[in-house]
Structure 1
Amino acid sequence: MELYAKALSYAVPFFLILIIIEEFAARRMKKQVNIGMDTISSLSSGMTNTLKNLMGLSVVIVSYAWMVDKVALFQIESTWWVYLIAFIGIDFAGYWTHRFDHTVNAFWNRHIVHHSSEEFNLSCALRQSVSAIFGIYFFLYIPMAFIGVPAEVVAIIAPIHLFAQFWYHTRLIDRMGFLEHIIVTPSHHRVHHAINDIYLDKNLAQIFIIWDKLFGTFQEELEEEPPVYGVKKPVNTWNPLIINYVHLWALIQDAWRTKSYWDKLRIWFMPTGWRPADVAEKYPWDYWKNAFDQVKYDSKPSKALQTWSWVQLVVSFAMVFHVLIAFVSFQYLEVMLYSIFMMVSIFAYTSLMDKSKIAIPAEIVRFAMGIGLIFWNGGWFGLQELIPGATALIGIYLAASLAMTLWLISVESKEKAVTKNPTLVSSN
């Protein structure tokens, strides 16, 4: 975990630089690829995923290290070609992991947050799950374990493989010639993120597009069918923690409401979007039948709310970065408490972005927890040793955040974020 924290301390600033470069390039090209609140939501989602990982909230049912120790038929050395085999093996497993997440009802909850943005840009690449707690796809790594690819090689290649999936989340790069036949390109991945019927559940590969062509899930981007981004059943919130569990909550409700015991059981393993007939008729879902009729979510924030949301993002990012760079010096309890505080913080200010009144109790909890942590720790997790007066600044910030939340909620009326459109139809 220390290696993970160190790797992220380098990777995250690099990602932010690329996001800023994309924005400048888009402006030069007279294109709009970032919408303020959506970008804040995406970056906030990335922080929640980082915090989850730092807290170790992932349960591996069967570890790769155990598998390779038990089933390896060969003992091979860590030469360059072993790293190449590991990369290809991880990519093959990634394709099927991705495919299962898209096609199994319960597993879609692990992935919905990544598709929830109605924009397509580098920041949406950081929308990563906090709900994928259990590592259920260990069986996909059995082929690598059989041939004896060392666990330490997989541990090195896995984050590289993950970071290599960042760059192609952009609308600014067009077709890439012969590379279109080899690797996943921005054009391929625009298709993947689209809700157009022809594009749904296509281009599931992570690095090598060959997997989609081999297994029948490839779709080229068509000029006459521009991609429309998001999810068919809109999430209508900027809060990444809510987005992470919105599909699971819908499944729980359906499983509870249906009268059929068979449907209560099978709903979890049916194709994504499947619902019991009795529940679908009585409790229809609103969804976009025609992608081109989509009305994007907009909480209609005032300038004050937008500005304050950016302030909250910057402060929160600075705090998460503090956890990353100071991780080796923290006790596990400190990491847990700091991370929980940050989760509450993100929940509070993204709820405020929605103009939801739940932001008030969330902010009160955050304020009380922050003050409690200052007294418990005798400061703010050692930050005062790096920045004189840091503890006082944190206290002032917490008070200001509470005051701003109360003020903004009181002055901004809660409006419907998405006007009901005749083309937002109900399933039945």
Structure 2
Amino acid sequence: MESWILLAMAPVFLGLIAVEAWYWKDRRPVYSLRDTLSNAALALMHQGADAIAWLLVIGLYYAVYQHRLFDLPGSAWTIAGLFVAQDFFYYWFHRAHHRIRWMWASHVTHHSSERLNLSTAFRQSLTYPISGMWLFWLPLAWLGFEPKNIIAVVAINLGFQFFVHTEAVGKLGWIERVFNTPSHHRVHHARNPKYIDRNYAGVLIIWDKLFGSFVEEDPAVPCEYGVVTPIRTHNPITLTFHEWIAMFRDAARPQQSLGSRFKQLFGPPERGHSETPREPRIEFRDPRPALNAGDTDR
């Protein structure tokens, strides 16, 4: 159901991408043809894997639902409660995918572009089911929310997040206090030391403010997008699997204890010692525009 909801919204997404690309055409090289095509390919791969994953795990959701704590009627208040609860669990899903390398191996794909535009929202990995994305929504079924409604709300949450992947929208006044906005999400995609691993919100920014991960966009510190160690490719296969390969290579290095191997897989991403994982935070700044190598269509 999630894939079908997002596919139904595709005409809106594609139309807004076209408008945004036109807006930036004579201003700044925010869009690149190869980068955008790469994003589209990754989206198609992700949607296929996501649909298969839901078919495989939906039975588990209904099994958990049979042992639910509460019988929650299908009302507007129930759906509203589900929306808030799912957004809460999304925050922890997102935070875990930045702080546990096994999960970062999937999520790094989304952060690998050195551009930020609406098409970046499509830049997803087909390996999310392997990294355990579906686990984070299981408590909702145990609480008493029907699985079909959980899937629908997950899709709505992800659909909302499409709109925060843009540089074309500035600050939004009081909305910034409660909701995730383009300004907040620009911080999340930035690799500046001040901004790394901040603003994990899906829809409500209040979780970041409650749990100490919120940072406001600072006009004095322009966002530099991408990962600290750039991935210089537009190949969707490489973008999908490069960190998995690096992670297993690090874990397989000889003369390591079992504990060290475990930490390479499930510790913070910066534990990696190969050339592809994120490096420790550094203060160096490259003054050149943050463009992917090989981008010539400007």
- TM norm structure 1: 0.63
One-letter amino acid of the counterpart of residue 113, structure 2: S
Superposition pairs of residues 244-283 of structure 1, within 5 angstroms: 244-262=240-258, 263-275=260-272, 280=273
Task: Check whether the contact 2:105–2:243 (CA below 8 A) recurs between aligned residues.
Answer: yes
Give the equivalent residue in structure 1 for 2:115. 119
Shift in Å, 1:136 = 2.9
Q: 2:189 aligns with which of 186, 193, 213?
A: 193
One-letter amino acid of the counterpart of residue 188, structure 1: H
Q: 1:292 aligns with which of 260, 285, 295?
A: 285
2:154 aligned with 1:164: no
Give the equivalent residue in structure 2 for 1:26. 24
Task: Check whether the contact 2:248–2:265 (CA below 8 A) recurs between aligned residues.
Answer: no
Task: Check whether the contact 2:34–2:295 (CA below 8 A) recurs between aligned residues.
Answer: no
Q: 1:22 to 1:300 in 2, by over 3 A?
A: closer
What SS does structure 2 have at the residue aligned with 1:299?
A: coil
CA RMSD of aligned residues (A): 2.6
Superposition pairs of residues 62-73 of structure 1, within 5 angstroms: 63-70=60-67, 72-73=68-69
Superposition pairs of residues 99-114 of structure 1, within 5 angstroms: 99-114=95-110
2:77 aligned with 1:84: no
After superposition, what is the alpha-carbon deviation per residue over 1:354-399, rounded to whole angstroms, capped at 9, x for unaligned?
xxxxxxxxxxxxxxxxxxxxxxxxxxxxxxxxxxxxxxxxxxxxxx
Superposition pairs of residues 215-364 of structure 1, within 5 angstroms: 215-262=211-258, 263-275=260-272, 280=273, 289-290=282-283, 292-293=285-286, 296-299=291-294
Shift in Å, 1:246 = 0.7
Shift in Å, 1:86 = 0.8
Task: State the distance in 2 between where 1:100 and 1:5 align.
Answer: 23
After superposition, what is the alpha-carbon deviation per residue over 1:81-102, rounded to whole angstroms, capped at 9, x for unaligned?
1110111111111100000000
What SS does structure 1 have at the residue aligned with 2:162?
A: coil
2:42 aligned with 1:49: no
Give the equivalent residue in structure 2 for 1:12. 10
| Identity across the alignment (%) | 31
What SS does structure 1 have at the residue aligned with 2:244?
A: helix
Give the equivalent residue in structure 2 for 1:183. 179
Give the equivalent residue in structure 2 for 1:136. 132
Task: Check whether the contact 1:61–1:136 (CA below 8 A) recurs between aligned residues.
Answer: no
Task: Check whether the contact 1:5–1:54 (CA below 8 A) recurs between aligned residues.
Answer: yes
Task: State the distance in 2 between where 1:65 and 1:57 align.
Answer: 12
Give the equivalent residue in structure 2 for 1:149. 145
Q: 1:267 to 1:36 in 2, by over 3 A?
A: same
Structure (1 or 2) with the larger CA radius of gyration: 1
Task: State the distance in 2 between where 1:57 and 1:143 align.
Answer: 16
- TM norm structure 2: 0.89
Q: 1:4 to 1:88 in 2, by over 3 A?
A: closer
Shift in Å, 1:155 = 2.8
Q: Which has the higher contact order (CA 8 A, sep 6+)?
A: 2
Shift in Å, 1:299 = 2.4
Aligned residues: 293
Task: State the distance in 2 between where 1:213 and 1:58 align.
Answer: 35
After superposition, what is the alpha-carbon deviation per residue over 1:170-213, rounded to whole angstroms, capped at 9, x for unaligned?
00100000000010000000000000001000000110000000
Task: State the distance in 1 between where 2:151 and 2:253 align.
Answer: 43
Task: Check whether the contact 2:112–2:230 (CA below 8 A) recurs between aligned residues.
Answer: yes
Task: State the distance in 1 between where 2:21 and 2:134 align.
Answer: 38
Shift in Å, 1:214 = 0.4
Shift in Å, 1:27 = 3.7
Task: State the distance in 2 between where 1:269 and 1:289 align.
Answer: 23
